[in-house]
Amino acid sequence: MKRVFKITVSIITVLLLIALMGVLFISRGLKSGMNLAINGANLTSHSDGIYIGKYNAGRWSNEVNVTINDHKIIKIDVVKDVTFSLPKVTEAIISQVIEKQNTNIDVISGSTVTSKAYLKSIENALNK
């Protein structure tokens, strides 16, 4: 009986540690991501071509290729996506940036940090 109890306690302890590590992984960088400043970019000085932008912040790290033609953003490809991507969020952010021709757009409610991560990588591509 003591052996079963010890095994049960050990299993529960391991499961709690795994859960705690998962919560820490998921929330790491959340506060800094919420406070991430997104600045605009001036497209008038950009030549036609593909600009590579990256943002590195744990599970929100991503990489994009921004295609510029005639001083306009015509296409944004996600080369490396965030860890827990939501295609609707990705598409909405990319569509808004192309429509507004700027990274100063509203973030997607409920996906603030993910939205800002994409916007920061696009901004980084345009500000090189």
Quick check: is 15 in a domain? no
| Residue span of the structural domain in which 38 resides | 31-126
| 54-110 per-position pLDDT tens digit | 999 888 999 999 999 999 999 999 999 999 999 999 999 999 999 999 999 999 998
Alpha helices per DSSP H over the chain:
2-27, 30-34, 87-100, 112-126
The pLDDT score that the predictor gives to residue 26 is 64
Does residue 55 lie within any of the structural domains? yes
Q: Would residue 103 count as lying in a domain?
A: yes
Angle formed by the axes of helices 87-100 and 112-126, nearest 10°: 40
Which position has the higher pLDDT, 31 or 56?
56
Residue-level pLDDT at 32: 79
Lookup result for tokens 């960088």: 29
35: domain CATH number is 3.90.1010.20
Cα 118–chain centre separation? 5
Percent of the chain with pLDDT over 90: 60
Residue 112 domain-assigned? yes
- 121 near 53, Cβ under 8 Å? yes
Q: Is the pTM of this model over 0.85?
A: no
Query: For the chain, what is the domain count?
Result: 1
Going by the DSSP 8-state scheme, the letter that residue 28 receives in this structure is T
| pLDDT over 70 at 25, yes or no | no
106 within some domain: yes
